[in-house]
Structure 1
């Protein structure tokens, strides 16, 4: 049984069909890449799964629970985590305090904005940081970290609620090749260890082909291909629509691989 099932999902803005009746599913323990050219409908799809946009039609079910019509907070409580293209952390808080704040939220406990989270589940927060390789920097302010390390902290925050599904929007944007590969290798390991699923968007084709178990490709709001990376690499419609210049995925991947 699929963890996430999307059927007939659609969203229009005026007369423009940003997402036009797409269907896909995602299983626990799987990384599914959502790719396509600019304007394909990737972000719109992401934001409907997360509840930030309300779908005009269709169904999004997580473990049998319908998500359409639910606010982001309720969807989060059902087991959907998210990271963002630009990492979002409290820069003036320490690394461990950022994770402790996420644990407070997971426990449905609110603090006044002037209070720190220093006393809440520090041991559990450190364990999460250890999973992402950041325990040694637990007491540093996030503002002092390299960007790749901030992304690791954001990942620890995202899994603090033990999500069934993790949405990752351009997880390696702005990162050097080694940082990209390190972060995605870490994500792959967490997926296996925790049995969660990941739906991610990504422009770096080297990352997509190295780490995705399956891929779905959108163009002008429609799903034009779905399959394993090798199938997508050789798909003539994908090559035509995604690149539009006769380039193949193989050439694109080679162009992005580090020397």
Structure 2
């Protein structure tokens, strides 16, 4: 079943086509990687899908319904979750309270509370923290956590609306190799358990090639490749655009360092 269908999506910033006539789909239970060099249009594409930016042209359909023009909060409540490159949590609140706020927002209770927020949705929040391996830290303030653990809390918040589609913008940025592979393996497990569609951007090719079901590639706003991991890894055009040379992708397994690009202009920033 197709969860997200993008058709001819275009976004202009002055004379720059940040996203240029892009079309692709994401199916339920699919873990789809969106890759490309810096400035390729990945984050702009994400921001249009979840309503932060309005496209100049094209259509975005979620579960068969066009969501173009809807505000982010409406798209969130329809079942589209999101995590960000820089983790977005309330640092002074506890881990549990952060997830409770996600559940309160999903239940549209933010402006109608007659009980203290700390007593609402405690058990569902603890269950979400258990699923991401953070239940033991429920009473700790988020500011006390290591960055990899903050990313797990952000994932629990994103799951608070039981999303059918999860958008993850560079989920492993700033994480050590073992942390990032553990996090992506966890997300892949949740994809299978929940039959959830995931669209994620990622600069670590080891993570992409070890875990993605399919890969799409943007370059200068255009979609230049869409296919299975092996096909994308061996695609000469992708190698040329992504690495700035004809150098081939690494065939090494997850946990090893991917080959470094040879030019600064197209270099993905290492975490």
Using structure 1 for the length normalisation, give the TM-score: 0.95
In 2, the alpha carbon distance for the partners of 1:125 and 1:74 equals: 21
* Equivalent in the alignment of 1:49: 49
* Equivalent in the alignment of 1:4: 4
SS of the residue 2:23 aligns to: strand
* Equivalent in the alignment of 2:157: 157
* Equivalent in the alignment of 2:263: none
Decide whether the 8 Å contact of 2:34 with 2:216 is kept in 1: yes
> Runs of at least 4 residues of structure 1 off by over 2 A?
251-257
CA-to-partner distance for each residue in 1:22-41, whole Å, 9 max, x for gaps? 11000011111111111111
SS of the residue 2:117 aligns to: coil
In 1, the alpha carbon distance for the partners of 2:69 and 2:48 equals: 10
**Matched residues, number:** 256
Decide whether the 8 Å contact of 1:34 with 1:216 is kept in 2: yes
CA-to-partner distance for each residue in 1:191-212, whole Å, 9 max, x for gaps? 1111111100010111111111
* Equivalent in the alignment of 1:142: 142
1:241 has 2:238 as partner = no
* Equivalent in the alignment of 1:256: 258
SS of the residue 1:52 aligns to: coil
* Equivalent in the alignment of 2:123: 123
Unpaired segments of 5 or more residues in structure 1? Answer: none
CA-to-partner distance for each residue in 1:117-152, whole Å, 9 max, x for gaps? 310011111111100011111111111111111111
Describe how 1:219-230 pairs up with structure 2 within 5 A.
219-230=219-230
Decide whether the 8 Å contact of 2:134 with 2:152 is kept in 1: yes
Q: 1:116 to 1:90 in 2, by over 3 A?
A: farther
In 2, the alpha carbon distance for the partners of 1:144 and 1:72 equals: 29
In 2, the alpha carbon distance for the partners of 1:68 and 1:61 equals: 8
Describe how 1:1-259 pairs up with structure 2 within 5 A.
1-110=1-110, 117-250=117-250, 255-256=257-258
Q: CA deviation at 1:213?
A: 0.5
SS of the residue 1:160 aligns to: helix
Q: CA deviation at 1:241?
A: 1.3
Deviates more, 1:242-251 or 1:225-234: 242-251
SS of the residue 2:49 aligns to: helix
Q: CA deviation at 1:112?
A: 9.1
Decide whether the 8 Å contact of 1:170 with 1:203 is kept in 2: yes
Q: 1:246 to 1:252 in 2, by over 3 A?
A: farther
Decide whether the 8 Å contact of 1:97 with 1:116 is kept in 2: no
Q: CA deviation at 1:245?
A: 1.8
SS of the residue 1:6 aligns to: strand
Using structure 2 for the length normalisation, give the TM-score: 0.91
In 2, the alpha carbon distance for the partners of 1:242 and 1:181 equals: 22
Unpaired segments of 5 or more residues in structure 2? Answer: 260-271
In 2, the alpha carbon distance for the partners of 1:3 and 1:171 equals: 21
Cα root mean square deviation, aligned: 1.8
